[in-house]
A = this chain, B = another copy of it.
Protein backbone atom coordinates (compact mmCIF):
# COMPACT_ATOMS: atom_id res chain seq x y z
CA UNK A 1 0.00 0.00 0.00
CA UNK A 2 1.32 3.42 -0.95
CA UNK A 3 2.14 5.84 1.85
CA UNK A 4 1.51 9.57 1.92
CA UNK A 5 2.67 12.18 4.43
CA UNK A 6 0.79 15.47 4.37
CA UNK A 7 2.24 18.25 6.52
CA UNK A 8 -0.24 20.73 7.92
CA UNK A 9 -2.71 17.97 7.23
CA UNK A 10 -5.24 18.81 9.92
CA UNK A 11 -6.48 22.14 8.54
CA UNK A 12 -7.30 24.01 5.38
CA UNK A 13 -5.69 22.93 2.15
CA UNK A 14 -3.59 20.24 3.84
CA UNK A 15 -6.69 18.67 5.35
CA UNK A 16 -8.47 18.70 1.99
CA UNK A 17 -5.52 16.95 0.36
CA UNK A 18 -5.37 14.36 3.14
CA UNK A 19 -9.05 13.58 2.87
CA UNK A 20 -8.89 13.37 -0.88
CA UNK A 21 -5.95 10.96 -0.76
CA UNK A 22 -7.78 8.78 1.78
CA UNK A 23 -10.40 8.01 -0.88
CA UNK A 24 -7.63 6.22 -2.78
CA UNK A 25 -5.92 3.08 -1.55
CA UNK A 26 -3.25 5.08 0.26
CA UNK A 27 -2.06 5.06 3.87
CA UNK A 28 -2.20 8.78 4.71
CA UNK A 29 -0.40 10.44 7.60
CA UNK A 30 -2.10 13.79 8.08
CA UNK A 31 0.49 15.48 10.29
CA UNK A 32 -0.75 18.34 12.44
CA UNK A 33 1.37 21.12 13.91
CA UNK A 34 1.59 19.02 17.09
CA UNK A 35 3.21 16.25 15.04
CA UNK A 36 5.64 18.52 13.23
CA UNK A 37 6.19 22.25 13.50
CA UNK A 38 8.62 23.18 10.74
CA UNK A 39 9.54 26.42 12.50
CA UNK A 40 11.10 24.28 15.24
CA UNK A 41 14.05 22.26 14.01
CA UNK A 42 13.88 20.00 17.07
CA UNK A 43 10.33 19.08 16.11
CA UNK A 44 11.44 18.41 12.53
CA UNK A 45 14.21 16.09 13.67
CA UNK A 46 11.86 14.21 15.96
CA UNK A 47 9.32 13.75 13.17
CA UNK A 48 12.04 12.39 10.90
CA UNK A 49 12.91 9.74 13.48
CA UNK A 50 9.39 8.35 13.12
CA UNK A 51 8.86 8.90 9.42
CA UNK A 52 11.82 8.07 7.25
CA UNK A 53 10.30 7.17 3.91
CA UNK A 54 7.18 7.69 1.85
CA UNK A 55 5.71 7.45 -1.63
CA UNK A 56 3.93 10.78 -1.56
CA UNK A 57 5.07 13.84 0.36
CA UNK A 58 3.08 17.06 0.66
CA UNK A 59 5.07 19.99 2.07
CA UNK A 60 2.59 22.43 3.51
CA UNK A 61 2.47 24.80 6.44
CA UNK A 62 0.49 27.74 7.72
CA UNK A 63 1.53 31.20 6.65
CA UNK A 64 3.37 33.83 8.70
CA UNK A 65 1.48 36.74 10.23
CA UNK A 66 1.02 40.02 8.41
CA UNK A 67 3.89 42.25 9.43
CA UNK A 68 5.30 45.52 8.09
CA UNK A 69 8.85 45.32 6.78
CA UNK A 70 10.19 47.75 9.36
CA UNK A 71 8.70 45.71 12.18
CA UNK A 72 10.20 42.37 11.19
CA UNK A 73 12.96 41.48 13.66
CA UNK A 74 15.98 39.27 13.13
CA UNK A 75 14.23 36.63 15.23
CA UNK A 76 11.17 36.82 12.99
CA UNK A 77 13.27 36.28 9.88
CA UNK A 78 14.98 33.30 11.50
CA UNK A 79 11.73 31.80 12.76
CA UNK A 80 9.94 31.88 9.41
CA UNK A 81 13.12 30.97 7.56
CA UNK A 82 12.92 27.72 9.50
CA UNK A 83 9.18 27.33 9.02
CA UNK A 84 9.01 27.97 5.29
CA UNK A 85 12.47 27.00 4.11
CA UNK A 86 14.99 25.16 6.33
CA UNK A 87 12.38 22.79 7.74
CA UNK A 88 11.28 21.73 4.24
CA UNK A 89 14.90 21.45 3.03
CA UNK A 90 15.81 19.27 5.99
CA UNK A 91 12.86 16.99 5.32
CA UNK A 92 13.90 16.64 1.68
CA UNK A 93 17.47 15.84 2.78
CA UNK A 94 16.46 13.21 5.32
CA UNK A 95 13.26 11.54 4.17
CA UNK A 96 13.48 8.92 1.47
CA UNK A 97 10.92 9.28 -1.30
CA UNK A 98 10.37 6.03 -3.13
CA UNK A 99 10.83 5.68 -6.89
CA UNK A 100 7.76 6.73 -8.89
CA UNK A 101 6.67 8.92 -6.01
CA UNK A 102 5.36 12.45 -5.80
CA UNK A 103 6.43 15.53 -3.90
CA UNK A 104 4.01 18.43 -3.73
CA UNK A 105 4.68 21.76 -2.12
CA UNK A 106 1.89 24.19 -1.38
CA UNK A 107 3.28 27.70 -1.75
CA UNK A 108 1.30 30.79 -2.75
CA UNK A 109 0.81 33.00 -5.77
CA UNK A 110 2.91 35.61 -3.91
CA UNK A 111 5.97 33.78 -5.22
CA UNK A 112 5.29 35.41 -8.60
CA UNK A 113 3.47 38.54 -7.48
CA UNK A 114 4.94 39.41 -4.09
CA UNK A 115 2.67 41.19 -1.69
CA UNK A 116 3.49 43.85 0.87
CA UNK A 117 1.23 42.32 3.51
CA UNK A 118 2.78 38.90 3.00
CA UNK A 119 6.39 39.95 2.71
CA UNK A 120 7.80 37.09 4.79
CA UNK A 121 5.78 34.52 2.90
CA UNK A 122 6.68 36.08 -0.46
CA UNK A 123 10.39 35.89 0.32
CA UNK A 124 10.77 32.41 1.74
CA UNK A 125 8.23 30.70 -0.49
CA UNK A 126 10.17 32.09 -3.47
CA UNK A 127 13.44 30.75 -2.09
CA UNK A 128 11.99 27.31 -1.49
CA UNK A 129 10.46 27.31 -4.98
CA UNK A 130 13.96 27.89 -6.33
CA UNK A 131 15.39 24.91 -4.43
CA UNK A 132 12.43 22.74 -5.38
CA UNK A 133 12.89 23.54 -9.07
CA UNK A 134 16.56 22.58 -8.88
CA UNK A 135 15.82 19.33 -7.06
CA UNK A 136 13.05 18.35 -9.49
CA UNK A 137 15.68 17.57 -12.11
CA UNK A 138 17.40 15.09 -9.84
CA UNK A 139 14.19 13.49 -8.58
CA UNK A 140 13.11 13.09 -12.21
CA UNK A 141 15.77 10.41 -12.69
CA UNK A 142 13.70 8.18 -10.41
CA UNK A 143 10.33 9.24 -11.92
CA UNK A 144 9.48 11.26 -8.84
CA UNK A 145 7.33 14.22 -9.84
CA UNK A 146 7.85 17.55 -8.08
CA UNK A 147 4.79 19.79 -8.26
CA UNK A 148 4.61 23.28 -6.76
CA UNK A 149 1.02 24.45 -6.29
CA UNK A 150 0.73 28.21 -5.82
CA UNK A 151 -2.75 28.98 -4.54
CA UNK A 152 -4.47 32.31 -4.69
CA UNK A 153 -7.29 33.11 -2.25
CA UNK A 154 -8.71 29.82 -0.98
CA UNK A 155 -11.57 29.50 1.47
CA UNK A 156 -9.59 28.68 4.62
CA UNK A 157 -9.37 30.10 8.13
CA UNK A 158 -6.09 31.66 7.09
CA UNK A 159 -7.69 33.68 4.28
CA UNK A 160 -10.44 34.89 6.57
CA UNK A 161 -7.79 36.12 9.04
CA UNK A 162 -5.94 37.98 6.30
CA UNK A 163 -8.93 39.64 4.66
CA UNK A 164 -10.93 42.25 6.55
CA UNK A 165 -14.11 42.06 4.52
CA UNK A 166 -14.36 38.77 2.68
CA UNK A 167 -17.57 39.69 0.84
CA UNK A 168 -16.07 42.85 -0.56
CA UNK A 169 -12.88 41.02 -1.41
CA UNK A 170 -14.47 38.20 -3.36
CA UNK A 171 -16.27 40.77 -5.44
CA UNK A 172 -12.87 41.86 -6.79
CA UNK A 173 -12.02 38.31 -7.89
CA UNK A 174 -12.66 37.11 -11.45
CA UNK A 175 -14.73 34.15 -10.22
CA UNK A 176 -16.46 36.21 -7.49
CA UNK A 177 -15.60 33.49 -5.01
CA UNK A 178 -12.72 31.99 -3.08
CA UNK A 179 -11.23 28.71 -4.21
CA UNK A 180 -12.43 25.61 -2.41
CA UNK A 181 -9.79 23.56 -0.55
CA UNK A 182 -11.37 20.47 -2.14
CA UNK A 183 -10.47 21.75 -5.59
CA UNK A 184 -6.81 21.52 -4.64
CA UNK A 185 -7.37 18.26 -2.77
CA UNK A 186 -9.01 16.69 -5.79
CA UNK A 187 -6.37 18.06 -8.09
CA UNK A 188 -3.59 16.38 -6.11
CA UNK A 189 -5.57 13.16 -5.91
CA UNK A 190 -6.26 13.06 -9.63
CA UNK A 191 -2.58 13.51 -10.55
CA UNK A 192 -1.69 10.52 -8.41
CA UNK A 193 -4.70 8.42 -9.35
CA UNK A 194 -3.93 8.82 -13.05
CA UNK A 195 -0.22 8.22 -12.60
CA UNK A 196 0.67 11.50 -14.32
CA UNK A 197 4.43 11.84 -13.93
CA UNK A 198 5.64 14.17 -16.68
CA UNK A 199 4.06 17.07 -14.80
CA UNK A 200 7.20 17.89 -12.85
CA UNK A 201 9.38 20.88 -12.08
CA UNK A 202 6.27 22.97 -12.55
CA UNK A 203 4.64 25.82 -10.63
CA UNK A 204 0.87 25.70 -10.93
CA UNK A 205 -1.04 28.89 -10.12
CA UNK A 206 -4.33 27.91 -8.53
CA UNK A 207 -6.05 31.22 -8.27
CA UNK A 208 -9.22 31.43 -10.34
CA UNK A 209 -7.65 33.66 -13.03
CA UNK A 210 -6.73 36.27 -10.44
CA UNK A 211 -3.03 36.79 -11.12
CA UNK A 212 -1.85 39.17 -13.82
CA UNK A 213 1.48 37.78 -14.97
CA UNK A 214 1.14 36.28 -18.48
CA UNK A 215 2.60 32.94 -17.32
Total copies of this chain within the assembly:
4
CA distance A25 to B116 in the complex (A): 35
**Which residues of B lie under 8 Å from residue A146 when comparing CB positions?**
209
For A, the interface residue count at a CB cutoff of 8 angstroms equals 80
- On whether the beta carbons of A41 and B74 are closer than 8 Å, the reply is yes
- On whether the beta carbons of B213 and A113 are closer than 8 Å, the reply is yes
Query: Is A198 part of the binding interface, using a Cβ–Cβ cutoff of 8 Å?
Result: yes
- On whether the beta carbons of B115 and A123 are closer than 8 Å, the reply is no
Question: Which one of A41, A116, A130, A193 has the greatest number of beta carbons of chain B within 10 Å?
Answer: A130
Task: Determine which of B138, B199, B207 lies in contact with A183 in the assembled complex, contact meaning CB atoms within 8 Å.
Answer: B199
- On whether the beta carbons of A124 and B127 are closer than 8 Å, the reply is yes
Which residues in window 115-131 of A have CB below 8 A to B?
Answer: 115-116, 119, 122-124, 126-131
Query: Is A48 part of the binding interface, using a Cβ–Cβ cutoff of 8 Å?
Result: no
- On whether the beta carbons of B131 and A119 are closer than 8 Å, the reply is yes
Nearest-Cβ distance from residue A77 to partner chain B, whole angstroms: 5
Known contacts A89-B77, A111-B214, A198-B206; A130/B122 CB under 8 A: yes
- On whether the beta carbons of B123 and A85 are closer than 8 Å, the reply is yes
Known contacts A77-B89, A137-B116; A196/B183 CB under 8 A: yes
Q: Which residue of B lies closest to A110 (CB)?
A: B130
CA distance A89 to B119 in the complex (A): 12
**Which residues of B lie under 8 Å from residue A175 when comparing CB positions?**
140-141, 143, 197-198, 200
- On whether the beta carbons of A198 and B214 are closer than 8 Å, the reply is no
Which residues in window 190-215 of A have CB below 8 A to B?
Answer: 190-191, 193-215
Identify the A interface with B (CB < 8 A). 41, 69-70, 72, 74, 77-78, 81, 85-86, 89-90, 92-93, 110-116, 119, 122-124, 126-131, 133-141, 143, 146, 152, 154, 173-176, 179-180, 183-184, 186-187, 189-191, 193-215
